[in-house]
Chains A and B, each alone.
Chain A
Amino acid sequence: MNKTENQRAWFFVAPVLVLVAFNALIPLMTVVNYSVQETFGNNVFFWQGVGWFEQLLHSERFQAALGRQIVFTAIILAIEIPLGVAIALTMPRKGPWVSVCLVLMALPLLIPWNVVGAMWNIFALPEIGLLGRAINALGIDYNMTQQPLAAWFTTILMDVWHWTSLVVLLAYAGLISIPDAYYQAAEIDGARPWAVFRYIQLPKMKQVLTIAILLRFIDSFMIYTEPFVLTGGGPGNATTFLSIDLVKVALGQFDLGPAAAMSLIYFIMTLLASWVFYTVMTKNDAR
């Protein structure tokens, strides 16, 4: 759409701008402020420079949390995106079952995140949980409160349960926007199912899939509540991801300086990755 040049449009944007600035800029400046100072309580601050940043980037604890975070996000994307597309492809396009599928699939998305964690905790307990009991019955020794591997398995399964539906809904929206004529043309050409997927369905889903990857990347990179309730970051530090570590430092130990430095590095990382995604997306728009 060709837009008209109009500077008064700023008036329309002003309310949003003021509110988001209040919510984003003031806290962000507070964080910047803390990140360069040291305090011994009583609101007395000393200039610290970039000391916290240097200390953080060399700290093994931070590197370990960052490593776990990257591995977790990579696994999540590798499972949820293909699985979501596969389920969307097999869903009915017409008829009464469409609504049933959509409503049931959207349900996990609207459960508060700590309830998701609590639900999976109960579900996976080795003695009284259905999942824990079932795995142990298969002869596999499974206890997510003691075994790091079991804790990882449960956390990933929980996230797949929680968020794959978002990918399904997005991919499905892309699929139903394809006109029937495309499929008829493919049939006349004698295209095989794989060719239909590769040359008709995948290109049409490209836009929504970019958004799905972007949202899944951001949200899994910021994950806090679900693993915190499920495993508490344990056993040991096995499932302590970046946000859990940050909250421990900021609200648990009240180490303002290191927490602020960590916040800024964390934020800049998500921002950089998002900028890359955004550039890719707007490129698609222009085409």
Chain B
Amino acid sequence: MRRAIWLVPTLYIVFLMLPIYWLLNMSFKTTNEILGGFTLWPHDFTVANYVTIYSDPTWYLGYVNSLTYVSLNTVISVGLALPAAYAFSRYRFVGDKHLFFWLLTNRMAPPAVFALPFFQLYSAVNLFDTHIAVALAHTLFNIPLAVWILEGFMSGVPKELDEAAYVDGYSFPRFFFKIFVPAIKSGIGVAAFFCFMFSWVELLLAKTLTSVEAKPIAATMTRTASTAGYDLGLLAAAGCLTIIPGAIVIYFVRNYIAKGFALGRV
């Protein structure tokens, strides 16, 4: 019985890895081998697909664009959410509950609803096809999430900490940055992780708001797939490379993922 129980997570992880392995397998094959038949591993091993991506600016700039707006979005979302979450966790004020729910409703709005109006709005303010436009658009669902997570973590910090700091003569900004922020740093890590995640994986809005200058890597992939025939090897290589940033981020927050969910109530 005890040994059988280990099988469940193991089988689940094997199931998770199979499509990823298949993508990796495809990325090291030549187009001839892919179309020529079914092989479980690359017989004609090649890194040509990766070389193409590395040497063609339309490909590698896609990664730069994506990482730029994702980082911008994470900084804006967490930066603005910090004071708001502090207010929600420490004070009662007129309309606080309604405001909190209204923020959450934006996490619940289908991006498809916003695609067309966003296109018009960001064109009207001359931000179309810039990194900041995508970063700002993604705050629509990331700020509510960040406020929600941070509020949970902040409520876990006893109020006596604030009071003790005032008694010791700390000014509010000094207390906030010197004492309070370090006290909830794992919460900030978890919030930043989720902002990164949801901005990195979102494509509908990112694609709608960009054309050339800030085009995300994921959009480059869709366009290549439709115009240049069906170059599966190249597509697979580009797909494999999009997994790497996520994997790095997960590795850094691995100790917080499980705890963060519980403490932050998210």
Contact = CB atoms under 8 A, between A and B. Distances in A.
Given A218-B108, A259-B116, A169 B257 contact: yes
B93 A6 contact: yes
Interface residues of B, number: 98
Contacts of B9: 87, 90-92, 101
A11 to B, nearest CB: 8
B111 interface: yes
A42 B148 CA distance: 43
B26 A122 contact: yes
A12 B83 contact: yes
DSSP class of B's interface residues: helix, strand, loop or mixed? helix
Given A91-B9, A130-B22, A271 B108 contact: yes
B186 to A, nearest CB: 13
B203 A114 contact: yes
A102 B246 CA distance: 13
A128 B12 contact: no
Interface in A1-47: 1, 3-7, 9-10, 12-13, 15-17, 19-20, 22-24, 26-28, 30-31
Contact of B258 (A110, A173, A275): A173
A19 B87 contact: no
Interface stretch (B42-50, B52-60, B177-185, B236-244): B236-244
A170 B115 contact: no
A1 B153 CA distance: 13
Contacts of B136: 19, 22-23
B16 A108 contact: yes
Interface of B: 5-6, 8-9, 12-13, 15-20, 22-23, 26, 34-35, 37-38, 40, 76, 80-81, 83-84, 86-94, 96, 99, 101, 103-118, 120-121, 136-137, 139-140, 143-144, 147, 155, 159, 197, 200-204, 208, 217-218, 221-222, 225, 232, 235-236, 239, 242-243, 245-247, 249-251, 254-255, 257-262, 265-266
Q: Which 8 A-B pairs have the closest CB atoms?
A: A110-B246, A173-B261, A27-B117, A12-B87, A9-B91, A173-B262, A9-B87, A243-B112
Interface of A: 1, 3-7, 9-10, 12-13, 15-17, 19-20, 22-24, 26-28, 30-31, 86-87, 90-92, 98-99, 101-115, 118-120, 122-123, 127-131, 133, 161, 164-165, 168-170, 172-174, 176-177, 207-208, 211, 218, 221-222, 224-225, 229, 242-243, 246-247, 250-251, 256, 259, 263, 266-267, 270-271, 274-275, 278
